[in-house]
C-alpha cells in the first residue's frame, strides 16, 4: 500500500515538468531568426572552429585551486566546531595533529602552485600596449 504513494509521487514528479514543457511549447511565440540557429549567439561573430580556439589554462588552474581550498574550508569548519569536545576526550595532540597535518599538506600545495606560477596572472599584450601608450609604465 505504501508503494502507491511513492508511485503517485513519481508520476507527479515527472508529470509536472513534462506538462510545463508541453505548455511552453504550445504557448510561446515562434520567431525564426538566423541568429538563433548559430552556434554562439551572443552577438560575436564566430571565427574558426571550436577546436582551433585556445583557452588560457590559467582560468582552469584558478578554478581548481578555488575548489581545493573551498573543500578545505568545508572540512575545517566541522572540525573547529567539535575541537573543544575532542580535546576533552582524546587530548590536544590527537585532536590537533591530524588537522595540522591536513593544513600543512594544503600549504605545501599552495607553495608549489605559487612557485609554478598557477596564481600569477600574465598580462595581455593589448593591456600592456595601452598602459605604455598612456605613459603609466
Mean confidence (pLDDT) of the chain:
80
Q: How far is CA 51 from the centre of its chain?
A: 23
The pLDDT assigned to 130 comes to 60
Give the Cα separation of 57 and 114 in Å (integer).
Answer: 15
CA 88, distance to chain mean position in Å, is 38
Span 22-39, average pLDDT: 80
Identify the CA nearest to 45 among candidates 35, 32, 55, 54: 35
What pLDDT does 26 receive? 92
Average pLDDT over residues 90-118: 87
pLDDT, tens only, 38-69: 666 566 666 666 676 666 777 788 888 888 88
Q: Check residue 48 and give its pLDDT.
A: 66
pLDDT at residue 127, rounded to an integer = 57
| pLDDT (average), residues 84-94 | 84
Query: What's the confidence (pLDDT) of residue 22?
Result: 95
Give residue 74's pLDDT: 86
pLDDT classification of 10: cutoffs 50, 70, 90: very high
Place of cell 576526550: 89
Are the CB atoms for 80 and 71 separated by under 8 Å?
no
Q: What value, to the nearest 5°, has the Cα angle with vertex 110 and ends 104 and 112?
A: 105
Q: What's this model's pTM, rounded to 2 decimal places?
A: 0.48
Amino acid at each position: 500500500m505504501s508503494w502507491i504513494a511513492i508511485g503517485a509521487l513519481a508520476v507527479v514528479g515527472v508529470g509536472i515538468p513534462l506538462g510545463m514543457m508541453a505548455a511552453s511549447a504550445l504557448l510561446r511565440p515562434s520567431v525564426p531568426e538566423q541568429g538563433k540557429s548559430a552556434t554562439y549567439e551572443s552577438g560575436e561573430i564566430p571565427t574558426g572552429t571550436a577546436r582551433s580556439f585556445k583557452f588560457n589554462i590559467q582560468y582552469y588552474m584558478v578554478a581548481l585551486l578555488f575548489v581545493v581550498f573551498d573543500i578545505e574550508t568545508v572540512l575545517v569548519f566541522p572540525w573547529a566546531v567539535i575541537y573543544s569536545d575532542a580535546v576533552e576526550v582524546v587530548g590536544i595532540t590527537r585532536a590537533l595533529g591530524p588537522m595540522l597535518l591536513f593544513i600543512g599538506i594544503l600549504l605545501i600545495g599552495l607553495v608549489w602552485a605559487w612557485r609554478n606560477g598557477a596564481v600569477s596572472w600574465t598580462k595581455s599584450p593589448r593591456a600592456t600596449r595601452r598602459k605604455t601608450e598612456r605613459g603609466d609604465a
